Amino acid sequence: MEKPLRIILITGMPGSGKEEVIKTCRKKGMKIVRMGDFIREEASARDIELTDENVGNVAQEMREKHGFDIWAKRTIEAIDDQFTVVDGVRGRAEVLLFKKHFGNEAAVVAVHSSPKTRFRRLMGRKRDDAPKTIEDFENRDLRELHWGLGDVIARAEYLILNESTLEALEKRINALCERIGGKKPA
């Protein structure tokens, strides 16, 4: 008998709406583990300023040194038996490691928005890691695509389209959770 799904691997381009998916899942009582937290911890341990570029460089350096699944390895160690949403899956090697470890208990959910929508959202966030120009935005996209993010999105078991309102997105997330056997809407 196949085990029920208990690991949702969230992926998507920057600004696609992954954070809103995480917020909705947290409201449903799901455990959230962010792969990026492990990268930021590594950068902090090295006394590196936590800018988008610096964190990206640390992520890339560690991938080159320890394999492209290094962040998945560190993330798996933080997952217990609770239904868990993993934020930040970027490459095929990561997905393969999660699938090897959790089998059919893990599924990839891609959040998709157009580049125009994503750029507008990122600029509106006013966060330190927000792109300053369209060139910054495109360079960040290229870096993430270089890590294999496009392949992960293309091979996702589930897709959430996010071009509308937060309310519409939350409805899509709730419907998806019901469909895949996760927590029911609150």
50-106 pLDDT, tens digit per residue, is 888 899 899 999 999 999 999 999 999 999 878 899 999 999 999 999 999 999 889
Give residue 185's pLDDT: 37
Do the domain assignments include residue 29?
yes
Give residue 117's pLDDT: 96
Give residue 93's pLDDT: 94
Report the CATH number at residue 103. 3.40.50.300
Phi and psi angles of residue 25, each rounded to the nearest 5 degrees, phi first = -65, -40
Could you give the C-alpha distances from 3 to 68, 110, 147, in angstroms and in order?
27, 22, 30
Q: What is the mean pLDDT of the chain?
A: 89
Count of domains for the chain: 1
Which residue range is the domain that position 83 belongs to?
Answer: 7-180
Could you give the C-alpha distances from 107 to 27, 54, 95, in angstroms and in order?
20, 30, 9
DSSP-derived letter for residue 105 is: G
Do the domain assignments include residue 185?
no
pTM of the full structure: 0.88
Question: Could you tell me the pLDDT band of residue 149, with boundaries at 50, 70 and 90?
Answer: very high
Q: Are 87 and 34 in contact (CB under 8 A)?
A: yes
Do the domain assignments include residue 1?
no
Do the domain assignments include residue 186?
no
Do the domain assignments include residue 145?
yes
Q: Closest Cα to residue 91, out of 120, 64, 131?
A: 64
Distance CA 140, CA 62 (A): 18
